[in-house]
Every structure is written in structure tokens, then in C-alpha cells.
Amino acid sequence: MALLRLLSTDFDGTLIAHPSSGRCSPAFAEVLRLHRAMGGLWAVNTGRGFDHALEGIGIFGAPYEPDFLLTTEREIFLRTGEGDWRPDDHWNETCRQRHQELFSRADHIFSKIHELAASSPDVTLIHEEGELVGLLTSSEAVMEEIAGFILREAADLPEFHFQRNTVYLRFCHRDYHKGAALGELCRRLAIGREEVFAGGDHFNDLSMLDGKYAAFPCCPSNAIDEVKSVVRSAGGYVASNVAADGVAEAWKFFTSRP
């Protein structure tokens, strides 16, 4: 039987289906209670920014707050004993500096992306604090094309990469993704990969589902085929239920098998 000390769950598409009420399902609430009763910890590992993640977690209304929030596929926040959120200053600042340094060498890639967005009504650029951070496409088919375009344009700068989730894409350093953030959290907590459960549904979850950082990866039935394939290859569990009910099904599978 698996002794799971840490759950790392994506949020959109994994804990909440779209469209849905955004509320925690009874089956997942039960799993959280059981996991917590055994001293287990829970990280929400999402592509959302910090404020947007907190908003979603508020609506979700789980019986317990997560212990950790890993946001924008790379930053780490820890819940304090008082229930406040404290950034992991060292990791987040190093992450910020490495992105700043990389993006300062990527003007030629950003120029091409600006040109593309100016000529296509199907591509909308996303800015945060005045900086271009990602883009939104009119469909997943368009996203597939844009992802290929960026990879071609960034061929001379291999550290330049992105995380994509349905019609959203965020630029990033190749070293930073959900798996790396989860790995750093486990290093801090002295938790081994054989004690970690991870659940996700889309491209931006692949880095935490390939077995490197979590020995117990899973996905709900609504996950994309690429995710199901990676989860199966890593010896994980592909659930037959949707979203949080699928995650709960996977947790019960791992914790009850001999």
C-alpha cells in the first residue's frame, strides 16, 4: 500500500471540470479528510497566478485548505500556521531573475510573436505588469499551430520554452515547470518521489506526471491523450471518472492496493 505524504494536484480540468460549479466534489472531500487524517500534505500545482488560484480555491471550498500553492507553473507559496501565504523568496526570486535574463535575450522571438498576433485575430497576447507573458488562442487547433511556430522561432535559444494548457500559453525557461516546482518543494520537505501523488489533465502537467518527481501519477478521464499516455508509461493510474472524482478514484486505487 502506498504511503502518500504529498498530493500535488492541478486545479482546472483536474479538480474542477469546465463548465461546473467550481465546487469540491464529495468524493475528493472524503479523500482529503482521509489523507489529512494520516498526516498527508496537499499542494495545488496550477498554471493560474497567485490571486486567481486563491479565488478558485475559495470557490472550491474543500474541507481543508491546501498547504502549498505552486502557481504560474513555477512559483512556490507556503501556508503559514496563521493561514496566510508566504512566498518561497529564494526560489521565486531566482526563478524571476532567470526568466528576466532569458527573456532579455529573446527579443527576436518576441518580435515574431508580436508580428503573428498583429496579423491573426485568433491570437491574443497576454501582458502582466506591462510585460508580455503569454498568449491566448481562439481554439486548441490554433494553439497547436502556434506552439509549433514558437518552437521553430526559438530553435536558436533552447532554454526558451512555454507551458500550454488548452487555449492558454505562458512563456518560460525550460528548467521551470510544475515538475521542477514540485521537486523543489519535496527537497525542502525531505519528501521522496515514492511518497508523492500527482494529478493533472493537460500539457502543462506532463512534467509532474512522468514519474520523475512523483511515483504515483494519475489523470482524470477527461485528460488529453498525451497525458494519459505519459501517466500509463510512468506506471500511473488513468481514472474512469471525471475531474476531482477521477483524482479521488486514483488516490483510493494507490492507497488500497497491496
Residues 187-216 that bind Mg ion (CB under 5 A): 201-202
* Contact criterion met (CB below 8 Å) for 50 and 70: no
Instruction: CB nearer to Mg ion: give 11 or 103.
Output: 11
Q: How far is the CB of 27 from Mg ion (least distance, A)?
A: 18
Check binding of 73 to Mg ion (CB under 5 A): no
Q: How far is the CB of 140 from Mg ion (least distance, A)?
A: 13
Q: How far apart (Å, rounded) are the C-alpha atoms in residues 165 and 87?
A: 24
Instruction: CB nearer to Mg ion: give 6 or 219.
Output: 219
Chosen residue from 12, 75, 88, 195 binding Mg ion by CB under 5 A: 12
Check binding of 88 to Mg ion (CB under 5 A): no
Check binding of 48 to Mg ion (CB under 5 A): no
Listed ranges 3-11, 125-133, 171-179, 217-225: which one lies at the site for Mg ion (CB under 5 A): 3-11
Q: How far apart (Å, rounded) are the C-alpha atoms in residues 186 and 209?
A: 15
- Quote the cell numbers at residue 192: 521522496
Short-list 46, 17, 6, CA closest to 196: 6
The three-class DSSP label of residue 169 is: strand
Q: How far is the CB of 67 from Mg ion (least distance, A)?
A: 20
Give the residue at shortest CB distance from Mg ion.
13
Listed ranges 4-12, 80-88, 126-134, 236-244: which one lies at the site for Mg ion (CB under 5 A): 4-12
Residue by residue, DSSP assigns 175-235 as T-SHHHHHHHHHHHHT--GGGEEEE--SGGGHHHHSSSS-SEEEE-TTS-HHHHHHHHHTT
Q: Write out the residues near Mg ion by the rule CB under 5 A.
A: 10, 12-13, 201-202
